[in-house]
Structure 1
Amino acid sequence: MKKTIILLSFLVLSLTSCQSQEKKTEKVSTKNKISKTDAQWKAKLTPEQYEVLRKKGTEASFSGKYWNHFEKGYYACVACNNPLFTSDAKFNSECGWPSFDQAIEGSIIYKTDSSFGMQRTEVMCANCSGHLGHIFDDGPAETTGKRFCTNSVSIIFIPKK
């Protein structure tokens, strides 16, 4: 019982770290929207990618390949290649997930997320509606003040040529 309480406490702390945010809406073109069946997504994505992008899962902190990655280039949605974030927007938030202070205009959609008894803002790819992570108001004050907390498994890095 004690182990369960400790494990649940750790999970809640991980999910709620720095979770203040504001609701956002953004006009997004539906011209390039991708729509696939569940079976098509399962065939295209790895099981871990499917769990995060389609089932709104979360990878463990400090486990993804991009949390501490700072090369020049941009990050795109792994499911549809939609460019999402530039490397110039990436910063070290020390939360264990890739963090960006802004997204490429029109690349993201937002949705209120009330899961786990919390009020957060979910961030999704505007092109395929894949779950990327959440946005919080604890990013760098000298830029936008935002932190797009993103699952590494939901993005792919494209190096600058």
Structure 2
Amino acid sequence: MSDVITPKVQKTDAEWRELLTPEQYRILRQAGTERAFTGPFWNSHEKGLYSCAACHEPLFVSDTKFDSGCGWPSYFEAVNPEAITEIRDVSHGMVRTEVRCSNCGGHLGHVFPDGPPPTGLRYCINGHAMDFEAMK
């Protein structure tokens, strides 16, 4: 786990604001979160690929998505371990593990050790932080 991330894609704040919707900017660039059961993909069952909404880096595939009941899209494994950077998060009076896109540094959500086999992980991801491409 790292406390520092050096993203490959770097843009100015103005460039990010122009590229992203206000909600995407708030989540991806300001480490915000959407309210539970309100964002895209939390109840989606379509087969496909979820990627970073800021830089389009592949993050998760639908085969690793599960219903955790938390109100956010949840996955037990990233498409590639290098796609996600984990950072210790001590905000809000608790210790958690934040996950960011390794490619652009965008805040995605958090990972918890209470997921299903085979990993036991629950990547709890903001739907607005992702794009989706259906499998053909």
Question: TM-score range with shorter-chain normalisation?
Answer: over 0.9
Tell me the equivalent position of 1:39: 14
In 1, Cα distance between equivalents of 2:74 and 2:109: 10
In 1, Cα distance between equivalents of 2:24 and 2:52: 11
Tell me the equivalent position of 1:152: 127
Deviating above 6 A after TM superposition, structure 1's stretches of 4 or more consecutive aligned residues are none
Is residue 2:27 matched to residue 1:55?
A: no
The structure that is strand-richer by fraction is 2
1:12-161 equivalences in 2 (<5 Å): 24=1, 33-105=8-80, 106-140=82-116, 142-161=117-136
**What is the TM-score when the length of structure 2 is the normalising length?**
0.94
In 2, Cα distance between equivalents of 1:145 and 1:68: 21
Alignment deviations for residues 57-87 of structure 1 (CA, whole Å, 9 cap, x no partner): 0000000120011111110000000000011
Alignment deviations for residues 86-134 of structure 1 (CA, whole Å, 9 cap, x no partner): 1111000010000000002211011111101110000000100000000
**What is the TM-score when the length of structure 1 is the normalising length?**
0.79
In 2, Cα distance between equivalents of 1:115 and 1:73: 33
Name the larger-Rg structure: 1
In 2, Cα distance between equivalents of 1:64 and 1:134: 15
* Count of equivalent residues: 133
Q: Secondary structure at the match of 2:97?
A: strand
In structure 1, what residue type is equivalent to 2:85? I
Query: Kindly, what percent of the aligned residue pairs are identical?
Result: 53
Task: List alignment gaps of at least 5 residues for structure 2.
Answer: none
Alignment deviations for residues 15-51 of structure 1 (CA, whole Å, 9 cap, x no partner): xxxxxxxxx46xx9x7x81000101101111110000
Task: List alignment gaps of at least 5 residues for structure 1.
Answer: 1-23
